[in-house]
Amino acid sequence: MAQLLDGAGKLGWVLLKSVIRFLFMLCNNCVAIPSYCLYLLLLQPLRIWDSPTFWYIEGVMFKWMLAMVSSWGWIAGYTVTEWGDDVRPISEEEAMVIVNHQSTGDVCTLMMCLQDKGMALQKMMWLMDHVFKYTNFGLVSLIHGDFFIRQGKAYRDKQLVYLKDHLEKYYHNRDRKWIVLFPEGGFLRKRRETSQLFAKKHSLPHLNHVTLPRLGATQVILKTLCAQQENGSVGSETGTLNKTGNKRKGLQWVVDVTIAYPKARPMDIQTWIFGYRPPTITHVHYRMYPIKEVPVEAEALTDWLYQRFVEKEELLNHFYAKGSFPPQDGQKEVASRPMILDPVWLCFVQSIAFASGYAWYSVLQYLYCCLF
């Protein structure tokens, strides 16, 4: 009986905590998203007069929005430990980020672990499944200039054309530096069986923790954002001018990100919202490749991408067997570093959000009273 009462008490506390968290996040969205939109509406004259400054301000607010999402996981005890290369020194350079995709929580994890990577987040473009367009954050992503891609053979070719047009129209115009994509084209649990059948048919490696990546979006990004050389690799300058009138260097790096969850249990967005899972450390491994090492022609790029995901499989096999990623080449000992968010900073961002929400409510209420 005592155990039953104890279990009921714990369940009651989890439910109460989930309700409180949900109400807080509902309020958070209700004040932050409208404020973001209204600030940008107010700044439209600046967009015409000084577009780079407008998009810089938008990027700062976008990063703050992602910091709010990060805080939802942080206060529930969901933290990140980082392994491999330190990507902070290249946060001001242009990079393409390729990530394995297990669940909706992958996006939240990236929002958290990239908070301390300089200006990467505020100058980042995301490639996401089109369903994210219809979430609470969809409007913000649309304004920011992210690209929503539809999956499936019926849409594939047209989506790649749309992606190329989108990059040419928005990437340089809004001074983006990093672009994030999930080359697998879907969640692991949905694509694993199909990927394994394809691998068996074409004598490719059998993968359990990742799936074989798709080429399309990666190749479009490389061909659009890099200058192609005669040998099939990519060059160091695109010929596109930046806001100072100098040539942009174009993509300089590919950052290969591997996300691992304890016991191979991915976290989804519902977990971040309701916080019903005990405190959890998500592990993120980085490996950087100079863009000159990346081929752009279809066959060579396919082989290169497949090799990256075979390496991801090996990394995840090692992690799930031993609880850590293996040391990098040339290193005898493995080193990890906790990604730490400043609670004072998170409180500041949340305070700005709620203060802005109250201020805009007061302004709109005043205007309504004056007009009616």
Tell me: the pLDDT tens digits for 139-185?
899 999 999 988 777 777 889 999 999 999 999 999 999 999 999 98
With contact defined as beta carbons under 8 Å apart, do 96 and 304 qualify? no
Give the Cα separation of 27 and 207 in Å (integer).
42
Instruction: Please give the pLDDT value at position 18.
Output: 86
pLDDT at residue 61 is higher than 60: yes
pLDDT band at 232 (very low <50, low <70, confident <90, very high): very low
pLDDT band at 307 (very low <50, low <70, confident <90, very high): very high
> Which range has the worst mean pLDDT, 24-33, 267-276, 330-339?
330-339
CA distances from 170 to 126, 164, 193 (A): 12, 10, 36
Which residue blocks in 114-262 are alpha helix, DSSP H?
A: 138-144, 153-166, 188-201, 216-225
If you average pLDDT over each of 70-79, 267-276, 331-340, which comes out highest?
70-79
Mean pLDDT, range 329-337, rounded to an integer: 78
Instruction: Please give the pLDDT value at position 231.
Output: 47
**Percent helix, strand and coil across the chain, each to the nearest 5:** 55, 15, 30
Task: Look at the alpha carbons of 168, 174, 177, 179 in this order and tell me if their dihedral is positive or negative.
Answer: negative
pLDDT at residue 241 is higher than 90: no
Tell me what percent of the residues of the chain surpass a pLDDT of 90.
67
Instruction: Please give the pLDDT value at position 11.
Output: 74
pLDDT band at 248 (very low <50, low <70, confident <90, very high): low
Mean pLDDT, range 120-149, rounded to an integer: 88
> Which range has the worst mean pLDDT, 156-160, 177-181, 233-237, 275-279?
233-237
Mean pLDDT, range 64-83, rounded to an integer: 93
Mean pLDDT, range 38-43, rounded to an integer: 96
Q: Which residues face 234 on adjacent strands?
A: 228
In sequence order, the 6+-apart residues with CB closer than 8 A to the CB of 162 are 147
pLDDT band at 280 (very low <50, low <70, confident <90, very high): very high
pLDDT at residue 4 is higher than 70: no
Tell me what percent of the residues of the chain surpass a pLDDT of 70.
91
pLDDT at residue 3 is higher than 80: no
Task: Using DSSP, state whether 100 is helix, strand or coil.
Answer: coil
pLDDT at residue 259 is higher than 50: yes
pLDDT at residue 16 is higher than 70: yes
pLDDT at residue 69 is higher than 60: yes
Give the Cα separation of 12 and 20 in Å (integer).
12
